[in-house]
Amino acid sequence: MAAQHVIVLGHGPIGHAFVEKLVESGAPFKISVVCEEPRPAYNRVMLTQYFEDQDAAKHDQMKLSYVTEEKLKEQGVELLYGRATSIDRTARSVAYEVPGTGTKSIVNYDILVMATGSYCFVPPTPGMTIPEKRNPFWPDDPASRPAGVFVYRTIEDLEAMLAAAKSGAKKAAVIGGGLLGLEAAKAAYDLKLESHVLEMAPYLMPTQLNEVAGTVLTEKIQALGIQVHVGVQIKEVVLGEDHKVTGIRILQKGAELPVVLDVDMVIVSCGVRPRDELAKQCGLELGGRGGVKVDSSLRSSDDKIYALGEVASIGGSMCYGLWAPGVEQADALVKNLVDGPGSVEYTGSDLSTKLKLLGCDVASFGRSLDFWFKRQFDGKDPDIKALECEDEITGTYRRLCFSSDGTQLMGGILVGDAKDYSKLLQLSKKPDLAGYDPAGLISGRPAAGATTGASLDGGDGTGLADDDLICTCIGLTKATVRSAIVEKDAHTMPLLKKCCKVGTGCGGCISPVGEVPKLLAHTLKKLGKSAASGICSHFPYTRRELFQIVKVKELKSFEAILDSVGQCQGGCELCKPICASILGGLWNEHCLQDGRDQIQDTNDRFLANIQKTGTYSIIPRCAGGDIDPDTLMAFARTAKKYGLWTKITGAQRLGMFGAERHHLPAIYKELVDAGMETGQAYGKALRAVKSCVGTDWCRYGQQDSVNMAVIMENRYKGIRSPHKLKMAVSGCLRECAEAQGKDVGVIATQAGYNLYFGGNGGAKPVHAKLFATDLDEETLLKYIDRYLMFYISTAKHLERTAPWQAGLEGGIEYLRKVIIEDGLGICGDLDKLMEQNRKNWHCEWKAVAYDEDLQKKFHQFVNTTETHDSEQVEYVDARGQRHPNTYSPPDITGPALYSKDAAPDTWEWIFAGKASDYPRNGGLAVKHGSNELAVFHLPNQPSTLRWLAVQNICPHKQARTISRGLLGELASGAITLADPIYKTTYDLRTGKGIANPNFNLSTFEVKVDADGRVLVKVPPSEEMKKAFDDQINKAYDDAGMENKKAKSPPERKYPLNAAAKNSLDW
């Protein structure tokens, strides 16, 4: 049998890596490579080294080449020079144009591997290309560009640039401040050209770096004499009468009129696009953003055609633009071809990278792709905590990102000094910090005592000696800060900041995982004083202390708690949810009644989990996982009727996603009428009790685990706690329900049940501790009752059972004394608390479904019954379901569009509902044409601040949810609002961002007339719409993204009609 013929299209670095690995495998393949360039594969990453010897014929001597023609012949690899022009999938052949002849040749394949790579994206800017000369089969065709416009991709490109410099070119503009753009700038710099780097984003390398790192890099590059222009818009490449470049017209950041930079070369290096023209020609399925869609075997929609490298769209979602992922793909494909399809699955690669750009070390590394795709390094992810250090003397910058509890390194950015890159990269892949602590890693030193075996920090946990800087921004040593604590009585963080300015720079040293809180706590302990432990400025008490106060005083509302033991007025986004949790844990009254809705976090306020689009997920209770077919069908009918995406959740429950707020009451009613009830997935409460099938079906079952799980879930449903709770019941020691990884775990034995407490999964998994063995049902439930109420009474806010339990002196033994032996004499109180909680249980969904007053809280707008699409991303179909597209809109930064203080007389007063419709200390949305406003009522404020209005769109990710935010008041007088999704904070008086001053809200004047009608003064609706649309489109343009929502067709109206409701025909 003849050897199969493998043809590789493209002999770039990745194509050659595949050829090399296939040859090394020794498998009996015939291998041919179609190579578009006039030489074998070479190292594109090192292209700037080409100028060390500016002769293309000598590039092998520069070690850019991976292989010679002679070597390929020795290996039996046929090298075919030419540009592939078409693929015939039926005949399994490739046509390619033989260079210098104009003739075409055809070669047949058994297996085709597309390694065509990418081409430089040339923006459709006037003067950048010659439209009539664009070549659809060769995107990089230099004939399609005017004289003086170059791309930076191949040795031919560099040769053309070198020729232009020798012909007298003196000044060059490089378009693009990313990785490729800075490499191109290095080439222009090496050619002794006056160089300008033009970047549309606010800083260099916006994909890999945050703004501070980009600024540090900018300063390094400008020190070389290269001029960097960020935040610019490129309007036109200016051509002379001979159609050669004479300049480039740009609009600089903040300028009103464009200017022309006098340049005679324009080098375009602002991103790449996959070379998928052949795939389009032959009808292969493409990825969502271009490239050949491939599965985990790197196989395309044609099982004889594979793709790898920059042209391979993995799963149809992304193409990797780095060298390392392509090599990993090549390795996986070779194994699949040699050992059989499916032998190896390729699902993704690490995007970590370390480069030297214009002499400056730059590195970016992450635990997962989320570090870049979700921009975890930006400081906007509430689950990511970061420390950063900028040294202006050496011009270096380091940002390390950690999990919320500081136990895992999630990634980091290094600029100017990347010597620790390898160590940090490896550490980011480990389950913990391997003996390091965040403070030691950010400062580049080992953990305390790691070198000498003795603590160099005096036992305070900072890892710092007295003369070490504890605050690098301000230049304060640890001794200086300690002196302020001891000698100037700065015993709280605000006093310490005021006294010596510590933490007033980047703030990293005073963050929860920083060094200053450790020093403060340790120093106060040595002084015999206790550190301030209040939950916020409004309550100088811990959650445990406040819980007992509310219990003893029998306080039933936030206002009563604030009046009784609080300080100042108003509360804030910190204390309101904590008080809501305490009230729920003690009295378990409906969270939306009697004004309690305005102190709930967003999820509890609408009895569903808010998603990034401002819609909600709905998860009914499914006790023990036991559900009948009729309930399943009712769930499916409702989901289809309202166009909702359905999924089995991570807790193995039924979930429907994408519900609009104003549809929630109707959805709740349908589910309740079908026999379902709230699963409280939105609350800090019991999520689910997982179970195996137990004695019902399993031959190993010792007890009826399903029945016990149903009993437990029905017993503990609705109980509010400091953190979510998960439980499980396994029917035997085989542990199929994974009970030992839950807050409460039960494992059946022949004699009864073993009981475990304090396990959890998540970022820091903890194995539960065995509490008691062989319990009967009554004793089992009694012990769980007491454990839960003791935890609810004493834990910190958002503290899971595992760390709470670990923090108890004596641990599980102490709990046995409290719960079994009644060592504190409180078991009777704990039993009464549990009984009261159980007696007050109610289905919160059912109350809303049958209460018109509660339903009003869910209306989309207060001034009209009309509704409209409020989501900021369009919906797409994937895997047979409708869901929002996966990207996140860019942030809207800069000044607000409108200010009530500058409102012209031409603005109009519009009706914004009745004053009686508004909640106290809360907000509602107002419709103005297709625009949305957020209007807030603060009855305890002075008359000028009693009614406030701002835009409803949040500048951070553009969700229309500002009206649902939590209000608060600071001692400074600022009236705060916390965005319900990302918790971005604003001062409602001015609209200015607090947490991030780049985010700002437009403000509008509000008044109430004699008839109790609320009126807001606003621009005409069409004028306002255009202004906001322009602002949104600019944000997309600045981010280099397409505003797909604006171009998408109108969404289908939901709910569907009754006929659709009664059908399950999807």
Reported as a single tens digit per residue, the pLDDT across 158-189 is 888 888 988 899 999 999 988 888 888 888 88
Confidence at residue 472, expressed as pLDDT on a 0 to 100 scale: 52
Confidence at residue 514, expressed as pLDDT on a 0 to 100 scale: 58
Task: Judge whether residue 757 has pLDDT over 60.
Answer: yes
Task: Judge whether residue 807 has pLDDT over 90.
Answer: no
Confidence at residue 972, expressed as pLDDT on a 0 to 100 scale: 72
Sheet holding 111-114, edge to edge: 77-81, 30-35, 5-9, 111-114, 305-307
What pairs with residue 594 in β-bridges?
none
Confidence at residue 450, expressed as pLDDT on a 0 to 100 scale: 46
Based on the number of CB atoms within 10 Å of its own CB, is 674 exposed (0-12), middle (13-18) or buried (19 or more)?
A: middle
DSSP letters, 3-57, are PPEEEEE--SHHHHHHHHHHHHHT---EEEEEESSSS--B-GGGGGGGGGS--GG
Q: Which is more confident, 187 or 18? A: 18
562-576, 652-666, 912-926: segment of lowest average pLDDT: 562-576
Task: Judge whether residue 13 has pLDDT over 80.
Answer: yes
CA nearest neighbour of 885 among 1047, 716, 733: 1047
CB atoms < 10 A from the CB of 1023, how many? 14
Which residue shows structure tokens 């693009």? 176
DSSP H helical ranges for 765-899: 777-794, 801-807, 811-819, 827-839, 844-849, 852-856
- Return phi, psi of residue 738, to 5°: 55, 45
Instruction: Give SS3 for 571.
Output: coil
Spatial distance between the Cα atoms of 635 and 535, rounded to a whole number of angstroms: 41
Task: Judge whether residue 462 has pLDDT over 90.
Answer: no
Under the banding of pLDDT at 50, 70 and 90, the label for residue 508 is: very low
Could you tell me which residues come within 8 angstroms of residue 613 by beta carbon, excluding any fewer than 6 positions away? 658, 871, 872, 873, 884, 959
Mean pLDDT of 258-278: 92
Are 932 and 925 in contact by the 8 Å Cβ rule? The answer is yes
Are 731 and 695 in contact by the 8 Å Cβ rule? The answer is yes
Sign of CA dihedral 589, 591, 596, 601: positive
334-338, 359-363, 894-898, 911-915: segment of lowest average pLDDT: 359-363
Calculate what percentage of the chain has a pLDDT beyond 70. 92
Mean pLDDT of 796-821: 91
Under the banding of pLDDT at 50, 70 and 90, the label for residue 763 is: low
Q: How far is CA 432 from the centre of its chain?
A: 21
**Helices and strands counted in the chain (H then E):** 30, 48
List C-alpha distances in Å: 1047 to 149, 253, 381.
31, 27, 29
List C-alpha distances in Å: 277 to 12, 288, 313, 1032.
17, 15, 14, 32
Confidence at residue 498, expressed as pLDDT on a 0 to 100 scale: 61
| Long-range CB contacts (within 8 A, 24+) of 521-527 | 522/458, 522/459, 522/460, 522/461, 523/460, 523/482, 523/485, 523/486, 524/485, 524/491, 527/485, 527/486
What are 534-546's pLDDT values in tens digits? 788 788 888 888 9
- Burial per residue of 181-197, b for 16 or more beta-carbon CB atoms within 10 angstroms, e otherwise: bbbbbbbbbbbebbbbb
184-198, 501-515, 724-738: segment of lowest average pLDDT: 501-515
Half-sphere exposure of 853 (CA within 13 A, CB side): 8
What pairs with residue 268 in β-bridges?
151, 175
Strands 292-294 and 312-314: parallel
Average pLDDT, the chain: 87
Confidence at residue 1065, expressed as pLDDT on a 0 to 100 scale: 41
Are 267 and 160 in contact by the 8 Å Cβ rule? The answer is no
What are 1012-1026's pLDDT values in tens digits? 999 999 999 999 999
Are 21 and 330 in contact by the 8 Å Cβ rule? The answer is yes
One-letter amino acid for residue 279 of the chain: A
Under the banding of pLDDT at 50, 70 and 90, the label for residue 50 is: low
What are 591-634's pLDDT values in tens digits? 888 888 898 888 999 999 999 889 999 999 998 888 899 999 99
CA nearest neighbour of 620 among 610, 635, 641, 642: 635
Calculate what percentage of the chain has a pLDDT beyond 90. 49
- Return phi, psi of residue 149, to 5°: -105, 125
Confidence at residue 863, expressed as pLDDT on a 0 to 100 scale: 96
Confidence at residue 25, expressed as pLDDT on a 0 to 100 scale: 86
- For the chain, the distance separating the N- and C-terminal CA atoms, rounded to the nearest angstrom, is 48
Confidence at residue 740, expressed as pLDDT on a 0 to 100 scale: 94
Mean pLDDT of 814-819: 95
What are 1021-1062's pLDDT values in tens digits? 999 999 999 999 999 988 888 898 888 777 677 887 644 444
What are 100-141's pLDDT values in tens digits? 777 889 999 999 999 999 988 888 899 988 888 887 777 778
Under the banding of pLDDT at 50, 70 and 90, the label for residue 749 is: very high
What are 93-102's pLDDT values in tens digits? 999 988 777 7
